[in-house]
Amino acid sequence: MEKIYSIPIKLEKTGESEKNIFCTLNELKLHKKQINARDVCETIDKNLQDIKDSKSNIEINFVGEYFTKLDIDKQEELLSCVLNYIKEGKINSVTISAMPQYISKENLKLLRKYKVKNIKLEIVTANDYLLKKSGFDFCCDSIKKASKLIKRFGFNLVYKIYVGLPEATKLDEINTAKAICKLKPKQVEIYPIEIKEKTKIYEEIQNNEYEELTMIQKIERTKEIFYMLSKKKINVEIKAYNNEEFKNRVESGIWFDTIVEKIKQYNVKVKEVEIEVNSLNFDTAIGYKNENIEKLKDYYNVDSKVVTNDDIKPGKLEIIIKKKFTDFLEE
């Protein structure tokens, strides 16, 4: 399996128009000097020195400020620097982030000229009321128009959505997943909302105007969206800013459901199983803090052991039944 190395290039926040519930007062007042082509080259060179595998798939990922929000001249300055590395075969792809209101034909022509491959579109939700409530300056119609343009220009379309927005119900999030299925992006990244001090959402929690979802609620809602999108062959990636527990528990929960469904296919009362997975999946298969092994025992009275077998493709598993309850009757 080819490993992808992502080199993040951090753009400074301009602090100009974003006033949504996630922005801090400090971010709104920022007027930092934006990075330049020299900064980009230095970051790339430093990271390339640390990558030893010459056959690696290396991508540049512009993070921080929305790339298409920058002045067109600044976009061209930064991309022209990256293009040199692409021509030399040192870089394979470029990913930029955007919001629907910052997508235009002019922008997309420039991005295509400089070999950008992926556009990560932060759509948040597919619910106009929730977008307005959360302070975002675009609507669902903008999402559709931007998505169609991005795909028409030949880019890989990646959506970024959130679980647990203020006033968002489980049904709202299911409807967002349904809308995404119709728009058919290549990939979707699912984030839990991040609660930072000095943000509007933090103040709402302090004033009892908004009750944050529990960890279990976030996990279950995220899993449901994951299954809906996966059935439509849309790649899904679970993300978390500074909450690795959330990411690990969602991925572990998905593996637990998969293991249980695989065992049920045998249509026998199982007492003990061995679960074979690729070594890349070992940690998520046993579950966050071994919870999958414990849940199999607690919920189904099944003893289990996870073993690695790299002949199995990543993401796949094999179940070997070691003991059935009927075995005891036959002894």
Distance CA 255, CA 276 (A): 12
Domain with CATH 3.40.1260.20 in the chain: 263-330
Name the DSSP class of 232: T
- pLDDT for res 328: 46
Fold of 4-242: TIM Barrel (3.20.20)
pLDDT of residue 242: 76
Interatomic CA distance for residues 197 and 212, integer angstroms = 14
- Domain 263-330 bears CATH identifier 3.10.20.30: no
3-state secondary structure of 211: coil
- Two tokens at 206? 């302090």
| pLDDT per residue of the chain (331 residues) written in tens, 0 to 9 | 557 899 999 998 875 555 788 776 555 455 568 899 999 999 999 999 988 776 779 999 999 889 999 999 999 999 999 999 999 999 999 999 999 999 999 999 999 999 999 999 999 999 999 999 999 999 999 999 999 999 999 999 999 999 999 999 999 999 999 999 999 999 999 999 888 887 888 888 888 888 889 999 999 999 999 999 999 999 999 998 778 899 999 999 999 999 999 999 998 889 999 999 999 999 999 999 999 999 999 999 999 999 999 999 999 999 999 998 775 444 4
CATH 3.20.20.70 residue window(s) in the chain: 4-242
Cα 286 to Cα 283: distance, rounded to the nearest angstrom: 6
Q: How far apart are the C-alpha atoms of 59 and 5, rounded to whole Å?
A: 6
Residue 307, CB-side half-sphere exposure with 13 Å CA sphere: 11
